[in-house]
């Protein structure tokens, strides 16, 4: 296998991992931010 093909696979894997992390982290941060703005009973 050529180095160029391996490099492309590594970049794709990094992009997939980064997008998976963002898909999980962004909603969690948004919910925490939203709940922090709510008044406490």
- Give the DSSP per-residue string, 23-40: HHHHHHHHHHHHHHTSPP
pLDDT at 2: 62
Question: For 9-31, what is the mean pLDDT?
Answer: 94
Q: What tens digit of pLDDT does each residue of 16-26 get?
A: 999 999 999 99
Give me the residue label for tokens 């939203």: 34
Q: Which of 39, 38, 36, 40 is nearest to 28 (CA)?
A: 36
pTM exceeds 0.85 for this model: no
Return d(Cα 7, Cα 4) in angstroms, integer. 5
Return d(Cα 10, Cα 18) in angstroms, integer. 12
């Amino acid at each position: 296998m050529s180095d160029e093909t391996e490099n492309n696979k590594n970049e794709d894997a990094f992009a997939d991992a980064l997008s998976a992390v963002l898909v999980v982290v962004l909603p969690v941060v948004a919910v925490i931010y939203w709940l922090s703005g709510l008044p406490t009973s």
